[in-house]
Structure 1
């Protein structure tokens, strides 16, 4: 793999254009593109969520967990900026129609899938407790508990360095 920089005076100062060239499409090229997309979202501090009545601009740092409920996604949020300092502050819930996989692609790396139905923000993770059948319980801010499926336990432990 070679990496190079080429100046393009036709682009504006805040514009980047990334081109990945290969003889044919490959898993490595796709992974590289996904990684670049995730990196480009790291500087974004809000995400737009389409609810039934409005478009909401949600601070990404306020999202504690995202879970599937029927055909809706429920976003569990810290209520306000002052509550961000208090891990026991109550949460607020916003519902949207989206798939969990699509929504997760829009979020930065600190969001981790813990089951087929749930994603958590590891910045709001307080502890992991053993549960039955190899599962664990993730205790999050605002008193939220989420079940970590046994298929996801090893990945989560690796991410948090346990």
Structure 2
């Protein structure tokens, strides 16, 4: 087996493309690809952001939505466990300096961009309602509502299988 690094300036900053090449698919090559995938998933269970004069470690499974606010991002995450009598736990908002495009590359594949200013986790999507001018309204856990821009509706529908 040989391991080679090849620089590709066409890839977005922070992205890595892994290609496994062999003369044929074997148990070893399949196992290697599964281990790479598992490593990627382990690294995406939490995300560290610089906030409040330090670093906050946020479970990616708790992130409901991320919104761009100028040069800052507002990360909306579920706080605590579900309480009896509540439909979902309250939302905690973390603010950090980052871009939406870069932040999205650090998240697992269940996050999708819904406008120029926002992205959501489809894991926390409760419903979509048609809105005026081709937009949609997304209802999310924690009582959040986000507008899905008409340009982003086809991709979101494809991802959720609608």
What band does the TM-score fall into relative to the shorter chain? Answer: 0.7 to 0.9
CA displacement at 1:90 relative to structure 2: 1.3
- CA drift of 1:43 comes to 2.0
- The equivalent residue for 1:137 is 137
Distance 1:114 1:122 in 2: 11
Structure 2: gaps (5+ residues): 19-35
- Structure 1 residues 71 and 25, CA gap change in structure 2 (3 angstroms): closer
Cα pair distance change 1:134/1:20, threshold 3 Å: farther
Cα distance in 2, alignment partners of residues 60 and 84 from structure 1: 20
In structure 2, the CA distance between the partners of 1:154 and 1:138, relative to structure 1 (3 Å rule), is same
Displacement of 1:71:
1.9
Q: 2:51, 2:9 → 1: CA distance?
A: 37
TM-superposed deviation, 1:128: 0.4
> What residue number does 1:41 align with?
40
TM-score (norm 1): 0.76
- For normalisation by structure 2, the TM-score amounts to 0.76
3-state secondary structure, aligned to 1:68: strand
Pick closer, same or farther for the CA change 1:148–1:26 going to 2, 3 Å. Answer: same
Find the counterpart in structure 1 of residue 62 from structure 2.
62
Shift of the alpha carbon at 1:89? Answer: 1.9
Structure 1 unmatched ranges of 5 or more: 1-5, 8-16
Whether the 8 Å CA contact 1:78–1:84 is kept in 2: the answer is no
How far off is 1:42 after superposition? 2.0
SS in 2 for 1:150: coil
Residue 100 of structure 1 corresponds to which residue in structure 2? Answer: 100
In structure 2, distance between residues paired with 1:88 and 1:151: 29
Q: Cα gap change, 1:157/1:20 in structure 2, threshold over 3 Å: closer, same or farther?
A: farther
Could you tell me how far apart the structure 2 residues matched to 1:128 and 1:153 are?
10
Residues 41 and 107 in structure 1, CA contact (< 8 A), matched pair in contact too:
no
Alignment of 1:5-16 (within 5 A): 6=1
